[in-house]
Amino acid sequence: MRRISVLIITCFLAITTSGQTVENSIINLDFEILENGKAKDWKDFGKGDYNLEIDTTISQSGKNSAVIEFEEGTPNFKAWAYNIPAIYQGEKIKLTGYIKTENVTDGYAGLWMRIDPSVGFDNMNKRGVKGTTDWNKYEIELDLNPSKAKQIVVGGLLVGKGKMWIDNLDVTIDGKKLDKASLKELSKAEKDTEFNDSSKINAIELNDQKIEDLKTLGLVWGFLKYYHPNIALGNYNWDFELFRVLPKIIDSKNAKERDEYLTNWINNLGKYEIIAKVKNEKADIKIKPDLDWITNSNLTKNLTSELTKVMNA
């Protein structure tokens, strides 16, 4: 039980967002800003034995470029990735960039762009760069679909063996650079940026009661995320609301005080309609969520009542 609770705590402290400011999304697509020798805001992912580094001697423009190089071992693929907030209004989004290759075989080098969730994707797999080539400009264009787009990720990748350099990437919306592109109307949740950099919670001292408090908070937070109508409308950044209530739960003196905090938390989420009669479950539903904890967790009567109302909203 203690190990599970420690895992829950770790998840609380580790929740991060992919959101960046508009400025962050445009200033380091050329790999010129380094922090401790690494390109600021760039990440990598993939499988296989590859070396990823910043090359300060070879570049298409400026001083730096990013490298992916296959080392001896098992080839697969590796990619550089850069997150851009999906805050733009427009029809088309275009990624352009420069690629240089050396002895690329059993695969290809290319740019890639993905719009989540499942809006658009292209990794040049049918037109990738092979062999040894000097710097050349490439591009990817996708339908932006602003109403559905939640995240935009761009970068370069190497599939198979060899070495590639990427540099001087640029992203435009309908031909306009990001700092000139139109912005879409943000939801209240998207405008909430208080905890973009940190949860502001450094440590939690554990005892049996605190473990139970965190378990209860985890249950209530997860339940409200999927059941409360006002959260579903995008009125709350629910990760950040967790960070706001967590200090009060940590400081609660007993279960009764904890439940009072949670009850007030629910009440402050705003009004919503409750269905007059709960519909009977359909026979073809094979698995249903286990919500028995609402009535068998020894929660206070008021908290149990509020959770039941949300369940029937």
| DSSP SS3 for 309 | helix
- What three-state secondary structure class fits 217? helix
And the tokens for 76?
Answer: 């697969």
pLDDT of residue 27: 78
pLDDT of residue 289: 86
The pLDDT score that the predictor gives to residue 288 is 82
- The whole-angstrom separation of Cα 300 and Cα 140 is 56
Residue 302 has phi, psi (to 5 degrees) of: -65, -45
Crossing angle between the packed helical segments 208-227 and 238-251, to the nearest 10 degrees: 150
Tokens for 116, please give them.
Answer: 């989540």
Q: 99 and 166 in contact (C-beta within 8 Å)?
A: yes
CA atoms within 13 A on the CB side of 63: 7
The tokens for 126 are: 């049918």
Secondary structure letter of residue 192 according to DSSP: -
**pLDDT in the model for residue 278:** 66
**Neighbouring residues of 202: CB distance < 8 A, sequence distance ≥ 6:** none
pLDDT of residue 46: 95
Question: For residue 19, how far is the Cα from the chain centroid?
Answer: 7
pLDDT at 14: 41
H-run or E-run covering 113: strand 92-116
- Residue-wise pLDDT tens for the chain (313 aa)? 444 334 444 444 443 334 444 444 457 999 999 999 899 999 999 999 999 999 999 999 999 999 999 998 889 999 999 999 899 999 999 999 999 999 999 999 999 999 999 999 999 999 999 999 999 999 999 999 998 998 999 999 999 999 999 999 999 999 999 999 999 887 888 888 899 888 999 889 999 999 999 999 999 999 999 999 999 888 999 999 999 999 999 999 999 999 999 999 999 999 998 887 766 667 777 788 899 999 999 999 999 999 999 998 8
* Class level of CATH domain 18-185: mainly beta
The amino acid occupying position 70 is F
Q: Give 245's DSSP letter.
A: H
Going by C-alpha positions, the residue among 187, 224, 241, 199 that lies closest to residue 306 is 224
Amino acid, single-letter form, for residue 310: V
Stated pTM of the model: 0.63
The dihedral of CA 190, 191, 192, 193: what is its sign? positive
Whether 234 and 188 have beta carbons less than 8 Å apart is answered as yes
Determine the longest span between alpha carbons in the chain, in angstroms.
71
Number of Cβ atoms within 10 Å of the Cβ of 113: 25
154 in Cβ contact with 111 (< 8 Å): yes
